[in-house]
């Protein structure tokens, strides 16, 4: 791996542990195995290292949405997605658990989550990314999904957005609670399962039981 890339990766780890201000360029350089002065041949400033992290995470997340088959942009055509058409409640349960565990254990996502929380009030860019990905996009996606499922007669009729928030908010809370404790992810999964069971119990249409 190029030295430049290694600097970005090590900085990501350190910023996620101790925050931007809590990490010195010397520490980053040490982690890479060079002197701090050498680092300035690759980046012009500490801020520029941070910016490269933002770019790295953006890139990583773009790749993810391809892999997971989950649309990232809100203007994406929901009806066109195969994903939606065939998804029933059991699949919902299954895929939620997988996405949850993924978010909890993926090294980029979990570090991004930590940095976003620490730097949200100092850095508009990371704050915006966090809100878009983990709040706005996630809720929009679930809303569209549930609206489709209501149309398809899988889900009880209702306010799709409110239902989506009811479904997603517990996942968000669990991510907040366990983002830094992936060792306790079994506890988190147990709670998640009972949440989804409760959701299915309440929202599944009678004729699908």
Partner DNA sequence: GTCTATACCAGGATAGAC
Partner DNA sequence: GTCTATCCTGGTATAGAC
Instruction: Scan residues 41-60 and list those touching a second copy (CB under 8 A).
Output: none
Decide if residue 122 touches DNA (CB under 7 A): no
Q: Is 117 within 8 Å of 123 (Cβ atoms)?
A: no
Binding to a second copy (CB under 8 A) within 130-159 occurs at: 131, 135, 158-159
Q: Among candidates 180, 202, 191, which has minimal Cα distance to 96?
A: 191
Interaction of residue 17 with DNA, rule CB under 7 A: no
Rule CB under 7 A: which of 34-93 touch DNA?
34-38, 40-42, 44-47
* Nearer residue to a second copy within complex by CB, 43 or 178: 178
Distance (Å, rounded) from C-alpha 53 to C-alpha 79?
A: 34
Q: What angle separates helix 160-178 from helix 89-105, to the nearest 10 degrees? A: 30
Q: Which does 26 bind (CB under 5 to 8 A by kind): DNA, a second copy, none?
A: DNA
Phi, psi angles (nearest 5°) of residue 34: -130, 175
H or E stretch at 108: helix 107-119
The one among 13, 65, 76, 120 contacting a second copy by CB under 8 A: 120
Residue 125 touching DNA (CB under 7 A): no
Rounded Cα gap, residues 204 and 178, in angstroms = 28
Residue 17 interacts, among DNA, a second copy, none and using kind-specific CB cut-offs from 5 to 8 Å, with: a second copy
Residues 6+ apart with CB under 8 A from 109: 60, 61, 64, 102, 103
**Binding residues among 95-114 for a second copy as defined by CB under 8 A:** 114
**Residue 30 interacts with DNA (CB under 7 A)?**
no
Q: How far is the CB of 20 from DNA (least distance, A)?
A: 8
Residue 111 binds DNA, judged by CB under 7 A: no
């Amino acid at each position: 791996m190029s030295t430049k890339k290694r600097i970005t990766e090590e900085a990501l780890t350190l910023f996620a542990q101790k925050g931007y201000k809590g990490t010195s360029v010397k520490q980053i350089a040490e982690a890479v195995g060079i002197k701090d002065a050498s680092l300035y041949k690759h980046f012009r400033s500490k801020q520029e290292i941070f910016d490269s992290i933002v770019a790295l995470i953006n890139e990583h997340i773009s790749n993810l949405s391809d892999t997971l088959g989950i649309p990232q942009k809100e203007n994406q055509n929901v009806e066109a997605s195969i994903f939606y058409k065939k998804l029933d409640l059991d699949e919902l349960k299954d895929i939620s658990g997988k996405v949850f565990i993924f978010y909890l254990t993926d090294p980029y996502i979990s570090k991004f989550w930590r940095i976003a929380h620490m730097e949200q009030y100092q850095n508009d860019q990371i704050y915006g990314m966090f809100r878009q990905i983990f709040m706005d996009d996630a809720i929009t996606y679930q809303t569209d999904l549930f609206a489709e499922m209501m149309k398809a007669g899988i889900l009880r009729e209702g306010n799709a957005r409110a239902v989506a928030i009811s479904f997603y908010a517990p996942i968000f809370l669990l991510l907040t609670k366990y983002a830094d404790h992936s060792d306790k992810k079994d506890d988190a999964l147990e709670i998640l399962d009972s949440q989804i069971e409760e959701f299915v119990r309440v929202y599944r249409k009678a004729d699908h039981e």
